[in-house]
Structure 1
Amino acid sequence: MHIPERSRPYLFGALSGLLLTASVALAGQFFGTSTTFPRLSTFILTSLGIDLSSLAFAQVRDGALTGAAFPNWQLLFVIGIGLGAFISARASGTFHREHLPELWVSSFGSSQKTRLLYSLAGGSLAMIGARMAGGCPSGHGVSGVSQLGVSSLLAMAMFFIGGITTARFLYASPAAPVSGNNSSVRSGRSGRPDNTQGGLS
């Protein structure tokens, strides 16, 4: 069944809402993913014999945020996100391998080490921020906003502001005028055009 691309956000958003409703009604669980990662980290460290019991983090809610509550339903939820995305991409014929995105290459070059370092740094900052905020875009954005939680609405606003600001900072490029018409070609930091044209403001 073909679903028009413009209709997909509304359809899949509605389906996500129904899935959240079913999750709460049947299992008493709201969506959330970020807590899985500190749980996994503490689970690994504890398995290696490292004592974390003296940390304040390990004492919150009787260790509910640590590996003591691991594995649990949230781990399956996180695995399901990746698995579901893979199945969906394969089924729709949009799956393809890509070592580095073209936009990244045009701005930072083709070094995979650079990409790895940026990814590790960005992922670490995102995880620290999610735990400081008490949730991630799925926890705050789906579960919290669906309950009209003020903290979740504020968190989502900050997520958008932070994401847009970071993207504009990383991928900002000056507009180079093109002779003969009133358009411009944006070039990345490497100086190569990315074939995006638009009118001068």
Structure 2
Amino acid sequence: MSTPLTARRWSPYAAGAGIGVLSWITFWLMGEALGTSTSLAGAAGIVEAAVSPAHVRETAYLSALVVAKPPVDWQMALDLLLPVGAFLAWRLGGGESVPSMPEHWRRRFGPSRVRRDVAAFLGGALMVFGARLAGGCTSGHCISGGLQLAVSSFVFTAVLFVAGIVTTTALYRGLSNVEGRAAGER
């Protein structure tokens, strides 16, 4: 018998509503918006403090993240537990193996796993850098900022979608719809 938690793919509407409720809870209980990139910067600040504590105290940005407030907080716990939640959802949904090389990537860039891993790492690093530059990540702006009706968050979300469409179009230009699974599951 399938339940919403054991479904292979969760309803995006139910998942979105759940994230919205979680956002309300974090505003109510923590007095803060739901986000993840600040704690990643805080983790970097902890490492920096271990190497050069004077530099952290003298740098306003790092000092605010590490000295002024506890760097290990509920948001860092959220970041650490996100992979655990993803793993549990995968197991509850049947735990089918996931291909290590998506077909559309292989067709465009070849079968090199190292190339894909390096590209994924660099893309993630660029996203974290951009998130800190923008004053928040996609969850901070798109979800929490959107719930607060922040104009900057609406602008961020629009630019995020446009940039995603432009980047995907540039990366995968000339490829027809990926055969098999991707076309059949939509």
Alpha-carbon separation, structure 1, partners of 2:132 and 2:43:
14
SS in 2 for 1:35: helix
SS in 2 for 1:148: coil
After superposition, the CA RMSD in angstroms is 2.5
The amino acid across from 1:109 in the alignment is: G
Query: 2:179 maps to which residue?
Result: 195
Alpha-carbon separation, structure 2, partners of 1:133 and 1:49:
26
Query: 1:16 maps to which residue?
Result: 19
Alpha-carbon separation, structure 2, partners of 1:10 and 1:101:
25
SS in 2 for 1:135: coil
Greater length-normalized contact order (CA 8 Å, ≥ 6 residues apart): 2
Alpha-carbon separation, structure 2, partners of 1:78 and 1:122:
18
Q: How many residues align?
A: 176
Alpha-carbon separation, structure 2, partners of 1:57 and 1:29:
18
Aligned residue runs from structure 1 range 108-187, under 5 A: 108-173=109-174, 186=176
Q: Does structure 2 retain, via aligned residues, the 8 Å contact 1:34–1:136? A: yes
SS in 2 for 1:52: helix
Whichever of the two has the greater Rg, that structure is 1
SS in 1 for 2:17: helix
Alpha-carbon separation, structure 1, partners of 2:113 and 2:16:
34
| Higher normalized helix content (fraction of residues) | 2
Query: 1:54 maps to which residue?
Result: 58
Q: Does structure 2 retain, via aligned residues, the 8 Å contact 1:31–1:138? A: yes
Q: Give the TM-score, by structure 1 length.
A: 0.76
Q: Give the TM-score, by structure 2 length.
A: 0.82
Unaligned runs of 5+ in 1: 175-185, 188-193
| Higher normalized strand content (fraction of residues) | 1
1:119-148: per-residue Cα shift (whole Å, max 9, x none)?
Answer: 222112211111111111110111110011
Alpha-carbon separation, structure 1, partners of 2:3 and 2:76:
32
Query: 2:91 maps to which residue?
Result: 90
Alpha-carbon separation, structure 1, partners of 2:10 and 2:85:
19
Unaligned runs of 5+ in 2: none
